Amino acid sequence: MNNMLKFPNNNIGYLCSDMQVELGRGNKVAFKWISESMENHDYTYADLKESSNRTANILSRYGLKSRDNIMFLLPRLPNLFFFFLGALKVGANSCILFTSIGDESLKDRIIETQTHFIVTTTKFLFKLENLFDDSLYILNIIVIDDNQKTKNRIGILDELLSAGVDFKTTPTCMDHNSHFHFTSGSTGKPKAVQHVHGSAENHLSSFLEVIQPSEDEVYWCTADPGWVTGVSYGIIAPCLYGLTQIQFSGNFNSSKWMQIIENFNVNIIYSAPTVFRIMMQYEDSFFSPYNLTNLKRIYSVGEPLNPVIIEWGKRIFGKEILDTWFQTETGSIMIAMRPGLEIRYGSMGKPLSNVSAQILDDNGQVIINNQKGLLCIKKTWPSMFTSYINHPDIYKNKFLGEYYSSGDIAYKDDDGYFWFVGRNDDVINTAGHLISPFEVESALLEIPEITDAGVVGVPDDLLYEKVVAYIVLRGDIKMTSTLNLKIKLYIAQKISSIASPREIRTTTSIPKTKSGKIMRRLLKNQYLQLDFGDISTLEIENG
Amino acid sequence: MADLWEELTSVFRMVFDNPKIVIDEKTVASDIVGWDSFSHMNLIAAIEQHFNVEFSLSEAVNFQDVGELMETLQKKRTS
């Protein structure tokens, strides 16, 4: 934190690269890049500075200006980081997309945010080239692995090597838009959550308080950069601190992950419960061949951390896994277990030193200890989201007086520890990703064989919650394995593979209120074979 | 054998909605747009259905590249 205060320019792109070089870390490794085939290449902070300056020069050359929106549809390769930081240096508002994004979701996101620049590779062009009629919407597609130039396609492969390595970073004030992520609510389409350059202050302070790194440690945040954790703690915070970090291009693979921890002497890992739950399926002997003694601290985020996972972690790694809690909207960790705090299995931990968290009722009144209520954070803090782009009313509704209401239900015990209970809406948390049931239902109704649909999240041993779709089939159509697969692929291709239902059940009708709202609670209870509870608002067909 | 590669390619193209996908023994997840842990389960389901075979969980998650997937698939079809 003190280091940042020495510099008048708080542009995150500058702080993460140029400032690190000015602090004498030019030769220090910023990223140890590991490909899916386990080849390694190191990039220093000087490399990070030069490469992000090159990308900033290229983006400026092709018309990107301060406050323009830009998206990145790139695999997890070094250029993703160089372009993200380069765009920030230009002063542009950057968004890293999940590469598994479906076509319609991609189009919706581009239009919703009026984004006119996207950086990608030739591999992704099939998703982009026919997305818009050129006469209706201009999307400048910057392609980093060829040199072809057409009307809206700008191939820049050669320029990546020849562009200048000096760039004067655009000075940014604290509230200058820096980056945005998309997140789902229980209604409508995903919203773009806006963050600002001033958020860097929270990224670093929370990193220091929770992760507690030291200069010579090797850190690995496994989160995809399309996720808020992947940006806040996979790019920004470790670079602000000048730490050496691991970036692995491949998907999750237990053997490769253990090899990485061992071979690259990883000291700190920040991952997710789903990953730990998958690893728990292996016999303990699977881990025996690996020397994991350098691993000092393990953190988790995205879903509640069950005590059984912590016990497993202690047995396998000799360390307790520490839970952290934050959201896309909070931008940085708000509540966490951390070294120095007595560990309570199953608790999220305590609020960070600069965070005021409370459990409130629907009227914004503080609830007494050990009683469930809305988990709320007192505004404002530097990494707090500043808007849902184009949705000021929804933004306004996220606040209860002076508090941001997270939508999570929790309670606080007498010692100030917070305990997660559930959500106060229908949003599904599958492997740490929030899924809007409404969005999936809407897509299901586009499938000709389906006349009605209701989507719920139900507990799952691996994913925390899995997406389950209840569907009503048209006429005499019967469910077959072919249709089952067709439905899953349709959702994957339209929204994303994450939203694709893990299970599809047919039913004769979807329970709805008299006003036509789907009663997902009933579907969930039906799945779990629980009592239906209060059904006084249920619309009975032909009743 | 060539037919099997063609069929497997057609399944990949269907699952990942990309008619230009080309696979070989060395193809890994990062070579295919959209091949992540979630879509992987859809891919396995599609392969099972297309070739009328079944993968165990460990078979489904442990292959390192398409070559290993093809090897497992061939064994199942001949057994």
Tens-level pLDDT at each residue, chain A (543 residues): 445 545 567 999 999 999 999 999 999 999 999 998 899 999 999 999 999 999 999 999 999 999 999 999 999 999 999 999 999 999 999 999 999 898 889 999 999 999 999 999 999 998 898 788 766 888 999 999 999 999 889 999 999 999 999 999 999 999 999 999 999 876 778 899 999 999 999 999 999 999 999 999 999 999 999 999 999 999 999 999 999 999 999 888 889 999 999 999 999 999 999 899 889 988 999 999 999 999 999 999 998 898 999 999 999 999 999 999 999 999 999 999 999 999 999 999 999 999 999 999 999 999 999 999 999 999 999 999 999 999 999 999 999 999 999 999 999 999 999 999 988 888 999 988 889 899 899 999 999 999 999 999 999 988 999 999 999 999 999 999 999 999 999 999 999 999 999 999 999 999 988 777 888 989 999 999 886 666 565 565 433
Domain CATH number, residue B20: 1.10.1200.10
What tokens does B39 get?
Answer: 């879509």
Residue A54 contacts residue A86 (beta carbons within 8 Å): yes
3-state secondary structure of A326: coil
Cross-chain residue pair A126–B18, CB shorter than 8 Å = yes
User: Would you state the pLDDT for residue A533?
Assistant: 64
For residue B15, the chain A residue with the least C-alpha distance is A489
Longest dimension (CA), chain B: 32
User: Would you state the pLDDT for residue A1?
Assistant: 46
CA A70 to chain centre: 17
- Nearest Cα neighbor of A476 from A440, A508, A441 is A508
E-only strand ranges, A369-524: 373-378, 387-388, 399-400, 403-412, 418-423, 428-430, 433-435, 450-460, 464-473, 503-506
Angle at A353 between CA A318 and CA A417, to 5 degrees: 60
Instruction: State how far residue B14 is from chain A, nearest Cα, in angstroms.
Output: 8
Residues of A at the B interface, defined by Cβ within 8 angstroms: 35-37, 75-76, 99-100, 103, 123-124, 126-127, 249-253, 431, 481-482, 484-485, 488-489, 492-493, 496-498, 500, 502
Domain hosting B44: range is: 2-78
Q: Where are the domains of chain A?
A: 2-406, 429-528
Query: Taking the model in full, what pTM does it have?
Result: 0.89
DSSP secondary structure code for residue A505 in this structure: E
Chain B residues within an 8 Å CB radius of A502: 41
Backbone angles phi, psi at A388, to 5 degrees: -100, 115
What tokens does A281 get?
Answer: 């399926």
Is cis: bond before A451, omega within 30 of 0?
no
3-state secondary structure of A217: coil
Is cis: bond before A99, omega within 30 of 0?
no
User: Would you state the pLDDT for residue A538?
Assistant: 59
d(CA A451, CA A153): 40
Per-residue pLDDT tens digits for A370-397: 999 999 999 999 999 999 999 999 999 9
Strand A140-143 versus strand A218-221 pairing type? unpaired
Which of the residues A128, A489, A502 would you substitute to probe the B interface, choosing the one with the greatest number of B C-beta atoms within 10 Å? A489
Cross-chain residue pair B15–A99, CB shorter than 8 Å = no
Cross-chain residue pair A489–B49, CB shorter than 8 Å = no
Cross-chain residue pair B37–A252, CB shorter than 8 Å = yes
Which of the residues B26, B27, B33, B50 would you substitute to probe the A interface, choosing the one with the greatest number of A C-beta atoms within 10 Å? B33
Instruction: State how far residue A290 is from chain B, nearest Cα, in angstroms.
Output: 18
Beta-bridge mates of residue A543: none
Q: Report how many domains make up chain B.
A: 1
DSSP secondary structure code for residue B46 in this structure: H
Q: Which CATH class is domain A429-528?
A: alpha beta
d(CA A272, CA A262): 19
Categorise residue B17: left if φ over 0, alpha if ψ from -120 to 50, beta otherwise.
Answer: left
CA distances from A34 to A78, A120, A233, A261 (A): 10, 20, 18, 12
Residue A342 contacts residue A335 (beta carbons within 8 Å): no
Angle at A85 between CA A83 and CA A87, to 5 degrees: 65
User: Would you state the pLDDT for residue A535?
Assistant: 59
> Alpha-carbon Rg of chain A, whole angstroms?
23
User: Would you state the pLDDT for residue A7?
Assistant: 54
E-only strand ranges, A268-347: 268-271, 297-300, 321-325, 335-336
Share of chain B above pLDDT 70, in %: 99
d(CA A358, CA A376): 5
**Scanning the structure block, which residue is given the tokens 């297309």?**
B50
Chain A residues within an 8 Å CB radius of B37: 251-252, 431
How many C-beta neighbours within 10 Å does residue A359 have? 22
Of A36, A481, A497, Cβ closest to residue B34: A497
What tokens does A64 get?
Answer: 């990107």
**Scanning the structure block, which residue is given the tokens 């220091």?**
A208
Ordered mean pLDDT values, 10 residues apiece, chain B (79 residues): 88 92 92 88 91 84 86 86
Residue A87 contacts residue A59 (beta carbons within 8 Å): yes
Of B18, B30, B42, Cβ closest to residue A36: B30
Q: Mark A114-153 as b/e (b = at least 16 C-beta within 10 Å).
A: ebbbbbbbebbbbbbeebeeeeeeebbbbbbeeeeeeebb
Per-residue pLDDT tens digits for A166-219: 999 999 999 999 999 999 876 778 899 999 999 999 999 999 999 999 999 999
Angle at A330 between CA A428 and CA A359, to 5 degrees: 75
Strand A399-400 versus strand A403-412 pairing type? antiparallel
- Nearest Cα neighbor of A126 from B16, B63, B72 is B16
Correct CATH for A2-406 of 3.30.160.270, 3.40.50.12780, 1.10.1470.10, 3.40.50.12280: 3.40.50.12780
Which of the residues A72, A101, A251, A433 would you substitute to probe the B interface, choosing the one with the greatest number of B C-beta atoms within 10 Å? A251
User: Would you state the pLDDT for residue A129?
Assistant: 81
Cross-chain residue pair B28–A482, CB shorter than 8 Å = no
d(CA A383, CA A374): 20
d(CA A435, CA A423): 12
B10 inside 8 A of chain A by CB = no
SS3 content of chain A, % helix, strand, coil (to 5): 30, 25, 45
What tokens does A135 get?
Answer: 């006469």
- Nearest Cα neighbor of A364 from A401, A332, A410 is A401
d(CA A5, CA B64): 47
CA A117 to chain centre: 21
